[in-house]
Amino acid sequence: MKVSKTELHQLIKNKINKAGLSEEHASIVSDVLTFADARGIHSHGAMRVEYYSERIAKGGITNNPKFSFDQTGPSCGVFEGDNGSGFVAAKLAMDHAIEMAKENGVAVVGARNISHSGALAYYVEMAAAQDMVALSVCQSDPMVVPFGGSEPYFGTNPIAFAAPSNDDRMITFDMATTVQAWGKILHARSKKEAIPDSWAVDEEGNPTTDSTKVNALLPISGPKGYGLMMMVDILSGILLGVPFGKHVSSMYHDLSKGRELGQLHIVINPEFFIGLETFKKNISAMLDEIKAIAPSPGFKEVNYPGERGRMREKNYEAEGIEIVDDIYNYLVSDDIHYDRYDHKNKFAE
């Protein structure tokens, strides 16, 4: 099923609003989810709507949160999310960070006690669109073994970065600190397909190729990824006074309770360093030089981070966004959710 970006946005907004969020907050949630689908990141798009709707309807996301922002210094502050929508809290926290960076050169803003906030690329691109450089990190469910360990402790703990150029190109990357995303495991599991032995481990901590025996994921590049995911958890968890490591709440354990997650935005204004125009000119020069590199065998060209996602978005704008029929049927239905996720394990089973 192919739908236009406008139609998809409206369908998602309607469902989230019906579940209990205000029209304004539902629209922001829909902005981020539609952004993900338009970039081809379907694991963070419309397929998540039923889960969010069930959590909203059951009280695990505060419908009318008491948001507040405490600017604790000239370039730092903490946004209190009151377990409201993570999408809305993360966006508003980034708005504060951008404004402070415009005035003071840098800003570090944490959002705490929030729910899942989706694709981090959306938030860093907010800053890059206003000529800022941005880095964002956040926590997730404990499902990754530390290097050398056999039990999960950290989450996939993603990192996102964006920077503007002096043309319509923008550098963006959004990556988990695991070898492979959890969604890839679920996809292989649903099809009973094997996986590479570098992706995950079984209950004994041994590498496994059997997707049905996966107990935890592995960090990228062994100890390097382990260090990165620890860094993310410290910056978005311990620094903000929310649960950390194995204490981070499960996505599915109890949908009636808030998740108390943390997220940290760091925004830098190039004007306070090398100067905005020089910075953007040099970013464009870097991209030109990368694009001029001869591709290695098996590749047509060298892409810069974020390039392929924007190419997908242009194709979708022309041809429509591909949505699984079952998801589309749910979006156009009168049902809010089907009790599919509450009190389930990390496989949503």
Catalytic residue among 25, 116, 265, 337: 116
User: Are the C-beta atoms of 133 and 282 separated by less than 8 Å?
Assistant: no
Half-sphere exposure of 341 (CA within 13 A, CB side): 22
Contact status, residue 310 vs residue 220, Cβ threshold 8 Å: no
Is the separation of the CB atoms in 282 and 290 below 8 Å? no
Is 116 among the residues known to form the active site?
yes
| Dihedral sign of CA atoms 95, 100, 106, 108 in order | negative
Pair 262, 138: CB distance under 8 Å: yes
User: Among residues 198, 31, 193, 203, which one has the least CA distance to residue 117?
Assistant: 31
Spatial CB neighbours of 238, under 8 Å, sequence gap ≥ 6: 244
Burial of 23 (0-12, 13-18, 19+ CB in 10 A): exposed
**235/233 Cα distance (integer angstroms):** 6
Question: Which are the catalytic amino acids?
Answer: 116
